[in-house]
Structures are given as C-alpha cells and as structure tokens.
Structure 1
Amino acid sequence: MKNTHTAAKEQRNLYIGSALTILFALLMGSLIVYLYESEPNLKGQRLKEFGVMLEDSAVSAHWQWDAENQPQMIMLVHYNDKGLEVDRRPVRMAYGGWPKVENNSAGCKKLWQMLLNQPMKVDGFLVRGEYFEGELVEDEPVNAYCRYRLSAGDYFDYAIYTGKVTFSE
C-alpha cells in the first residue's frame, strides 16, 4: 500500500514540477517578446521632433511675414536652447504667407534648410525630401506637400499652402 501511495505522490510531484517549468518558460518567453517589441523607435521619434520644429518655424515665419506688412522675403532667426541667436536665414515667402517652395524635391530640401538650419540626417540616417503636387485645379497644385522620410518607413508631410505637419502612424 505504501508503494502505491508513494508512486502516486511522486507522479503528482512530477506533474506539478513539469507544469511549473512550462509556466515559467511561457512567462519568460512572453517577457522577452514584450521587451523586444516595446523597444522605442528613436529614429522615428527624432524625425517627429524635426516635424514639430519645421511646423513651428513655418508658423513663426508666417506671423513674422504678416507683422512685417507681407514682404516677399523675411529674415528668420534661429536660436539655441539657451535663447542665443545661432543663425539667420532669409526665407522667401509665397503670396499666402507661407515659406515658398519650388515645385520639386529640391525645393523641399531647400525648405528644410531654410526653416530648420539642420542637416537632413537623423542619427546618421539620411532624411529624404520628396515633393507631391496633390490635386490640380486649373493646372495649379492646391494641396501640394513635402514628405520627409527615413528609409525605415517613418515620415511626416508638410502642407506647403497651410504650414501644417501630419505624421505617419
């Protein structure tokens, strides 16, 4: 009788040990997958920061254009984090009061330089600036935009006639 009872107890301990081992392996696997997938997209976040800065500079240029009686060109001043002037860039303005962009990808690259005064790089990766004309009304683009993107897939769009930036999801 003791043999049967001891054998049953050993078998039960074996099942419990196996179940605990499998449960531990599943928990560890889930933790590894969670940590791997929740790694932040630092390049995408940095590109988004540039998008916010581009929009802020475009809005500043727009208000400066309006305050200066709508000239064809303004002088946009760039400041560092401490509030000290680091650069001045002339910005040619379009008739609607937003920075003028030539209707090509070179115009988008020029816009980046005028408004951000930064190289088109994010952590060593090149940012590509591409022009999209959108819809045409009487052969004129009405919702043209510049798309700034990384080869990894992250991008943001700058609407040329409104100064708005929209981000990829």
Structure 2
Amino acid sequence: MHKNQAAEERNRSVLVNISVVVVFVSLMLAFILYFEQGRPNLRLTTLQTLAISFSTSVNNAHWQWQGEGRPPIVILSTFAPRLDDQKVLVETDKHPVFMSDTGWPKADPSGKGCAQIWNMVLNLPLEIDGFRVFTEFYDGVKLSGNSLDSRCRFRLSTGPYFEYKVFTGEVLRVQG
C-alpha cells in the first residue's frame, strides 16, 4: 500500500507541475495578445502622416506654380521650424518639381513615374519603418473611362495605401 501512495503522490506532483506550466503559458499568451492589440500600428500612422505631408507639398507646388506664372518646373523649399541668428527661417532643402499644364506635379504614367513624383514631392526614400513603399500607376481610362481619374498609389506590401490623382492634384486618404 505504501508503494501505491508514493506513486499517487508522484502523479499528483506531476499533475500540479503541468497545471502550473499551463496556467503560466496561458497568462503569458493573454498578456502578449493584450499588449499587441493595444499597440498603435506605426506603419499606418507613418503612412497617414506622409499622406498629409504629400498633400501639403502638392498644394504648395501648385500655388507656387500659379504665383510664378505657371512655369514647367518649380523649386520647392523646405524650412526648419526655427530661426537662425539673423531671425530668418533656416532653409533645409530645395528640390525641383516638374509640373503639368494643369499645375500639378507630374511624371511618366508608370510605377516609376509615381516613384519620381514621390521623390519630387516628399524628397524621401520609398521606405517606411524599414519596409519598402510600392508605387503603382492606374490609368483613369481603364478605371472609369475618364483620364482625369488616373492615379498613383503608394502602398506598403500589405495593408495601407494612399493615392494621388495626377491630373487634379487630389490626395485620397489612407485606406487599409
């Protein structure tokens, strides 16, 4: 009888150990899932911020094009949010933007052309948080029969994207 009690005690000890491990793993999994769901999607947030900057730069280029007498190229300047010693804004960058006849940044109607527009308008690499931004061109005639619906799509490999209508200058909000 003594051997049976010892065997039962061992079995009970193993069962308790297994139960403790299962509870511990379950709690860890619950915490991981909870914190993963509460964390903001940094790539989506970054893409939304870039879409706003893209829209602002496109509109700045358009109004500069209007103000300069509608030239084929405008030079966009970027300024730091501070003043230098002479109380003048500090210019951080200048880059050319090729403009269409309607006054919006333009390039060839292709994915590479859309990448050129990204570079002209944002002057940033096609990358967000270490992930490549893909550029695609959609011909408006094929989409809706109207060339004014032609657009560039800037997207991550999965999920969010925003679009730029090349003939109207409209930047469509981030989707996904």
**Paired AA for residue 168 in structure 1:** Q
Q: Which whole-Å CA distance do the structure 1 matches of 2:32 and 2:146 have between them?
A: 53
SS state at 2:65 partner: helix
Equivalent runs, 1:60-99 vs 2, <5 Å: 60-82=60-82, 83-99=89-105
* Aligned 8 A contact 2:148 2:165 in 1: no
Q: Which residue number corresponds to residue 43 of structure 2?
A: 43
Q: TM-score, normalised by structure 2?
A: 0.71
SS state at 2:149 partner: coil
Choose 59-68 or 32-41, whichever is displaced more: 32-41
Alignment of 1:127 with 2:128, yes or no, is no
Specify every segment of 5 or more residues in structure 2 that has no aligned partner in the other structure, as ranges: 1-28, 83-88
Deviation at 1:114, TM superposition (A): 0.6
Deviation at 1:104, TM superposition (A): 0.5
* Aligned 8 A contact 2:148 2:168 in 1: no
Q: Which whole-Å CA distance do the structure 2 matches of 1:122 and 1:80 have between them?
A: 22
Q: TM-score, normalised by structure 1?
A: 0.74
Choose 75-84 or 127-136, whichever is displaced more: 75-84
Q: Which whole-Å CA distance do the structure 1 matches of 2:30 and 2:132 have between them?
A: 35
Specify every segment of 5 or more residues in structure 1 that has no aligned partner in the other structure, as ranges: 1-28
Deviation at 1:59, TM superposition (A): 0.1
- What count of residue pairs does the alignment treat as equivalent? 142
Deviation at 1:81, TM superposition (A): 3.9
What is the alpha-carbon root mean square deviation over aligned residues?
2.4
* Aligned 8 A contact 2:137 2:151 in 1: yes
Q: CA offsets per residue over residues 110-129 of structure 1, 9 Å max, x none?
A: 01111111111111111011
Q: Which whole-Å CA distance do the structure 2 matches of 1:131 and 1:81 have between them?
A: 34
SS state at 1:87 partner: strand
SS state at 1:91 partner: strand
Q: Out of 146, 150, 157, which is 1:144 matched to? A: 150
* Aligned 8 A contact 2:140 2:146 in 1: no
Alignment of 1:155 with 2:164, yes or no, is no
Q: Percentage identity across aligned positions? A: 35
